[in-house]
Amino acid sequence: MKGGNAIRPLLQLLFYVEGDIDQLFVEKIIAPQMNIEPRVIPLKANFKSGKLASRKIRSALESKRKGYVDLIILIDSDADNYGKWNEETKKQRINQFSKEMGIKPNQFQDCISFAVIEIESWYLAGLDMNDRKKLGFKKSTPITDHISKQQFQSICNKKTDIPLYSEIIKHYNIQEARKNNASFDQFMNQIKDYLS
């Protein structure tokens, strides 16, 4: 290779997420846990158009198709409530994403995962009841599958800002999270299979 001591290829795994909080989750929790070094790229960057995101995903998929890079897309299920998340609503969400990105579902189906309902439920799932209390969360059920962003905000008792998410990360327990959130558990299994 020209000019360098590159001890690994530059880009091995591209990890597309929706926003900054998702990026933080993947970089601080998923990557160390799975012992991976992905480039985590938020699709909803400030003031950027959806067109740019779709072009980016298409390039990444083409690169994956050629075998240059692995690719994972993690998006929120955005279902109205957890009870409604099933194979049918999943298909609808895939179709919606497919339409937004201008790509056919069969091009990305094997590499897409969903945080149900939103990534905030995964954050909360990793805290045991003691830690939730310690961090000032209102009483909530251990299971977080039904937690949306709004519900997370309403039980957290304080501003949902970077210090709060960082504090959660500091106390995060993966096993607890897998126990408390089915979509997170499924995602962990999926990513393990995908990367093996």
Which span sits near another protein by CB under 8 A: 37-45, 73-81, 113-121, 141-149?
Answer: 37-45
Kindly report whether the peptide bond that precedes residue 117 is cis, defined as omega within 30 degrees of 0: yes
Of 37, 94, 53, nearest to 61 by C-alpha is: 53
Cα–Cα dist 165/148, whole Å: 15
Minimum CB distance to another protein smaller for 11 or for 129: 11
**Binding another protein by CB under 8 A: which of 51, 55, 104, 133?**
55
Instruction: Report if residue 14 touches another protein, rule: CB under 8 A.
Output: yes
Cα–Cα distance, 138 to 152 (Å, whole number) = 10
| Contact assessment for residue 171 and residue 13, using Cβ atoms and an 8 Å cutoff | no
Task: Pull the structure tokens for residue 141.
Answer: 């059920």
128 three-state secondary structure: coil
Least Cβ distance, residue 29 to another protein (angstroms): 16
Closer residue to another protein in complex, CB, 23/148: 23
Q: Is 4 or 159 the residue whose CB approaches another protein more closely? A: 4
Shortest CB 180 distance to another protein, Å? 29
Determine if 39 is a binding residue for another protein (CB under 8 A). Answer: yes
Strands (E), 49-93: 70-76
Is 139 a binding residue for another protein by CB under 8 A? The answer is no
Tokens 């993947």 correspond to 26
Q: Which residues bind another protein (CB under 8 A)?
A: 1-11, 14, 23, 37, 39-42, 45, 55-56, 58-60, 62-63, 66, 68-69
